[in-house]
Amino acid sequence: MHDTKRRFADFKKTIYRAVDDEVLRSALRKAVISTRENRDKALKLFPQVEEQRKILMEKKEEVLTHLDEMIEKFRAAAERIGFKVHNAETAQQAQKIIEEIVGSKKLIVKGKSITSEELEINKFLEETGNEVYETDMGEFIVQLLGGKPMHLLAPAVNVPKEQVAQVFSELAGRKLPPDPAELTRFAKDFLREKFFRADIGMSGANAITADTGSIFLIENEGNIRFATNAPPVHIAIVGIEKILPTLGDGTLLVEVASRYAGYLAPSYVSIISGPSKTGDIEKVIVWGVHGPKEVHVVLLDNGRREVARDPVLRQMLSCVRCGACMYECSVYPIVSGYWGHTYMGGIGIPWTALIAGGWEVAAPMAYACTLCGRCREFCPMEIGTPEITERLREEMAKKGYLPEYVKEMTQKVLTKGTPY
Amino acid sequence: MIGIFFGCTVLLFEELRSTLEAFFRRARIPYEPVGVDRCCGIPLLLAGFQKEAEENGRRLVEGISQKGISTLVTSCPHCYRAFSKEFPHRFGLSAPFKTLHFTQFVADLIRRGKIRFTKPVDLKLTYHDPCYLGRMGEKIYREPREVLASIPGLKMKEMEHNRDRATCCGGGGLVRAYLPILSSAVAQEKIESQVRPTGVTGIVSSCPFCYFNLKEGAEEAEEGKIGVYDLVELLVRSMEEPQDA
């Protein structure tokens, strides 16, 4: 109980520090305005998204109500095309699977993947004697700063360019100006060498498709293409909720997720359906031409199957990670990812409680949500985060994980009839 | 006979309670105050105590049922949601009276020609949709606007995000109980990014929580004062005191 008090007090401190951070607030204001403009433009230019998202909602529901069947379908299809498929029930199991593939003294380049953070994979790989580089610009900055990502799509939304210049300068061993173009050029040169020297490329997936066994990856920088193409081995860490029935459904997700994220179309969509191969020399199949000769798909459960059994909670698994809810939230634009653990913001509450973090960590987050329901209005999957959060608060109240003042107030209602 | 469910927050704050009483006095509408010693239970529900909220609701509905009232009017959107949504749908409690939010009650009086607002209120304001009256409740968007439109002299302008897309005041979900500074920061942000661009001088709400929270946000806000008003207060300002009172 003492521990609970401390957790709520610590979270409050963190949140209040973020409230007072004027640099953060002005960065977030800019981000809210530009994301909103971009999204509105994308949705206006492609009005069919409205229809597409409804179809996608049905597909997601279909998958989540037949999850085991879908996993088996995907596995069969993926093995047919030469992928190695691994089932991981827990984060620890996933770590172990990855450890066996990777070994030690390897160089690993990573594309942005929040699912991989459920395994704290960077820390784990470094501890097992490997060198790991995040290659998404924002994630790379966050990795160098030793902090945590602050947004799904803009992990370094809170870092000003001067700070980026400082940390890149240290890496470069020379002074770099706080100029976004020059800083980007430095990172590009630095990471280019890593891509080609890397033993293993690691990614997540935006979707995997049960009919073809394909992996869908959406990005704008082109780093994921390098990371999944240049090294001889590719490991994709994928939450089992990412399965969609068909390849066509995968393209549906690309359109919906990217437009809600504010892109007319993402710069790059990779659909990977098998390791690289050629049969051009006397029809002898040789694996690994320009791309990897070995592709592993680690299917991560980590609590998802159980969530999928509950009709209210399973809504959270249809999240396409477009981030639209976050900038439209009342609270997130004030505090950013400080309101979060591995997963952030309102949608981060159930993901923290049930997948990555646990009830104690999620409880202060849950009582920081105003339950205003605005997120749902902007969510392409219409996820009822307030409804989910109310349910989680019930469990938290049972466990005694609630703020002191709220506890006192409810006691007063029960004894005096009013909270005051 | 109508019953007025003041709600714990309106009861606690003299400025809100006396205004609501003044409205009924000036409108010459007799009423029975009900549930004055018991909260609607929404705080219990939001805190996570579902069973306790249900028990509280059962006692409330039973108590009020004995008063023989036909219509229950609530001034707080939380109480409104409790009676109109949570009690019948979540807890399966049936009541022999119908529940109206204050704005619905007044809009009905206006439509039936039973009330008139005569004294001009020369203000230019914007209306804040409380989450529990709108998006998270029964989507009561038209009535508060009709009521405000009936006040002579009052000019209204919509914020960019309104109705289903209205931004929260920041005080909901018990956040104001746990993180009050965050709540006022959200309110301040709303005032700067939503209210100020409309060019109005104030914001009016029909929820006591939004009212107090927006007030705090307005105090924190940058240059140029934005006033915060309670909808009932504007109505009372527009009504004549009865001659015989």
- Sign of the torsion angle spanned by Cα atoms A372, A378, A382, A385: negative
Give the tens place of pLDDT for each residue, B22-36. Answer: 999 999 999 999 989
Q: What mean pLDDT do residues A29-38 have?
A: 94
Q: Is A144 left (phi over 0), alpha (psi -120 to 50) or beta?
A: alpha
Tokens of A25: 């607030």
Q: What mean pLDDT do residues A175-200 have?
A: 97
Task: Report yes or no for ipTM above 0.90.
Answer: yes
User: Which CATH class for the A49-305 domain?
Assistant: alpha beta
DSSP string, B157-201: ---SS-GGGPPP-S-TTTHHHH-HHHHHHHHHHHIIIIIGGGT-S
Lowest-confidence segment of A148-157, B148-157, B215-224 by average pLDDT: A148-157
The residue among B5, B199, B32, B196 whose CA lies nearest residue B102 is B5
Q: Does residue B245 carry a pLDDT above 80?
A: no
Verify that B99 and B130 share a domain, yes or no: no
Burial letters B197-211, b for 16+ CB under 10 A, else e? ebebebbbbbbbbbb
Residues with Cβ within 8 Å of residue B223, at least 6 apart in sequence: none
Cross-chain CB nearest to B185 (options A334, A393, A407): A334
Largest CA distance in chain A: 87
Nearest CA in chain A to B9: A420
Domain membership of residue B244 (yes or no) is no
Confidence of residue A89 (pLDDT cuts 50, 70, 90): very high
Cβ atoms within 10 Å, residue A34 = 12
C-alpha B245/C-alpha B85 separation (Å) is 38
Across the interface, whether the CB atoms of B135 and A372 are under 8 A apart is answered yes
Lowest-confidence segment of A38-47, A154-163, A244-253 by average pLDDT: A154-163
Verify that B131 and B101 share a domain, yes or no: no
Domain membership of residue B38 (yes or no) is yes
The residue among A208, A215, A202, A242 whose CA lies nearest residue A121 is A202
Domain membership of residue B242 (yes or no) is no
How many domains does chain B fold into? 2
**CATH number of the domain bearing residue B196:** 3.40.50
Neighboring chain A residues of B50 at a CB cutoff of 8 Å: 394
Q: Does residue B224 carry a pLDDT above 90?
A: no
C-alpha A312/C-alpha A384 separation (Å) is 8
Q: Does residue A330 carry a pLDDT above 80?
A: yes
Percent of chain A past pLDDT 70, that is, above it, reads: 100
Whole-model pTM over 0.90 = yes
Q: What value does the CA radius of gyration of chain B take, rounded to a whole number of Å?
A: 18
Verify that B83 and B174 share a domain, yes or no: no
Q: What is the mean pLDDT of chain A?
A: 96
C-alpha B109/C-alpha B124 separation (Å) is 24
Residue B221: the pLDDT is 79
Residue A154: the pLDDT is 79
- Domain boundary among the residues B74, B90, B111 is at B111
Q: Does residue A57 carry a pLDDT above 90?
A: yes
**CATH number of the domain bearing residue B62:** 3.40.50.1860
Burial letters A236-258, b for 16+ CB under 10 A, else e? bbbbbbbbbbebebbbbbbbbbb
Distance (Å) from the alpha carbon of B240 to chain A's nearest alpha carbon? 34
Tokens of A203: 């990614």
Verify that B176 and B211 share a domain, yes or no: yes
Residue A170: the pLDDT is 96
Across the interface, whether the CB atoms of B136 and A417 are under 8 A apart is answered no
Residue A1: the pLDDT is 58
Nearest CA in chain B to A404: B178
Establish if B24 touches chain A: CB-CB under 8 angstroms. Answer: no
Residue B244: the pLDDT is 64
- Domain boundary among the residues B63, B81, B111 is at B111
Residue B241: the pLDDT is 86
Confidence of residue A147 (pLDDT cuts 50, 70, 90): confident
Domain membership of residue B116 (yes or no) is no
Q: State the residue for tokens 């995907």.
A: A74
Give the tens place of pLDDT for each residue, A267-307. Answer: 999 999 999 999 999 999 999 999 999 999 999 999 999 99
Q: What mean pLDDT do residues B46-54 have?
A: 97
Q: Does residue A65 carry a pLDDT above 80?
A: yes
Q: Does residue B153 carry a pLDDT above 60?
A: yes
User: Looking at per-residue confidence, does A159 or A356 come out higher?
Assistant: A356
Residue A149: the pLDDT is 84
The residue among B195, B170, B190, B172 whose CA lies nearest residue B181 is B170
Q: Does residue B41 carry a pLDDT above 60?
A: yes
- Domain boundary among the residues B86, B111, B136 is at B111
Give the tens place of pLDDT for each residue, A391-417. Answer: 999 999 999 999 999 999 999 999 999
Neighboring chain A residues of B182 at a CB cutoff of 8 Å: 15-16, 19, 331, 334-335, 368
Residue B220: the pLDDT is 83
Neighboring chain B residues of A12 at a CB cutoff of 8 Å: 178-179
Domain membership of residue B69 (yes or no) is yes
Q: What mean pLDDT do residues B163-187 have?
A: 97
Verify that B129 and B65 share a domain, yes or no: no
Domain membership of residue B180 (yes or no) is yes
C-alpha B44/C-alpha A415 separation (Å) is 12
Verify that B96 and B133 share a domain, yes or no: no
For residue B11, the enclosing domain spans 2-111
Across the interface, whether the CB atoms of B49 and A386 are under 8 A apart is answered no
- Sign of the torsion angle spanned by Cα atoms B174, B177, B179, B182: positive
Q: Where are the domains of chain A?
A: 2-45+323-416, 49-305
Across the interface, whether the CB atoms of A372 and B168 are under 8 A apart is answered yes
